[in-house]
Amino acid sequence: MLISVMLSAQCTDERVNKTTPDLFKKYNTPEKMVKADIREIEKIIHPCGFYKNKSKNILACSKKIIEDFNGIVPDNMEELQKLPGIGRKSANVIMLEAFHNPQGIAVDTHAKRIANRIGFSKETDPEKVEKDLLKQIPKKYYYDVNHLFVWHGRKTCMARNPKCDNCPVKKYCENYK
């Protein structure tokens, strides 16, 4: 999950899912990953874009997991964000999807756009948007809301031509008034 999240930056889930089987067939532990030739990793993950930077981060991250975390991916926000290539959004996704223990709301392009349109936040910086969301959304909903933003953004509240007339939350939306 950690590596998939790193690969998903500026890349579709579909593309990541096509790439990871080849990568994990060869390198399925941090120990195997650190021994890999970076050119081999670059070749495999090339379709995901930004492959040079992502390869560097994958290797550095694997090294840090071995050296600082006994080879185990940490299961908390603070330590996850110490890993190269992992920021708050990625740490939120890993806590949600890998550990089933969401600690916040991953503000991706969908969450930011919807939060701005509905009126949850006027901020543009994702971390500030998340702070605004966390003040308004109770913790018991973190699991669902992370998925709801993505699905609502893909199916209804798209960047261009949102389907406002059919939107189930239009009566709460500042953009619709």
Residues 6+ apart with CB under 8 A from 13: none
Residues 6+ apart with CB under 8 A from 138: none
Size of the site for ligand SF4 (CB under 6 A): 14
Residues 141-170 that bind ligand SF4 (CB under 6 A): 156-157, 162-164, 167, 169-170
Residues 42-101 that bind ligand SF4 (CB under 6 A): none
Give me the sign of the Cα torsion angle 15, 58, 41, 29.
negative
Kindly state whether residue 175 participates in binding ligand SF4, applying the rule CB under 6 A: yes
Residue 10's region, left for phi above 0, alpha for psi from -120 to 50, else beta, is: left
Which of 10, 124 has the CB closer to ligand SF4? Answer: 124
Alpha-carbon distance of 145 to 148, in angstroms, equals: 5
Which of 64, 152 has the CB closer to ligand SF4? Answer: 152
Tokens linked to 120? 């949850």
Kindly state whether residue 9 participates in binding ligand SF4, applying the rule CB under 6 A: no
By CB under 6 A, name the one of 84, 117, 123, 125 that touches ligand SF4: 117
Q: Which range, of 31-39, 46-54, 113-121, 135-143, touches ligand SF4 by CB under 6 A?
A: 113-121
Nearest to 106 by CA among 124, 84, 122, 90: 90
Residue 116 C-beta: closest distance to ligand SF4, Å = 9
Which of 20, 116 has the CB closer to ligand SF4? Answer: 116
Alpha-carbon distance of 55 to 6, in angstroms, equals: 9
Tokens linked to 51? 């492959």
Active site residue 89: yes
Residue 171 C-beta: closest distance to ligand SF4, Å = 9
Binding site for ligand SF4 (CB under 6 A): 114, 117-118, 156-157, 162-164, 167, 169-170, 173, 175-176
Just list the catalytic residues. 89, 108
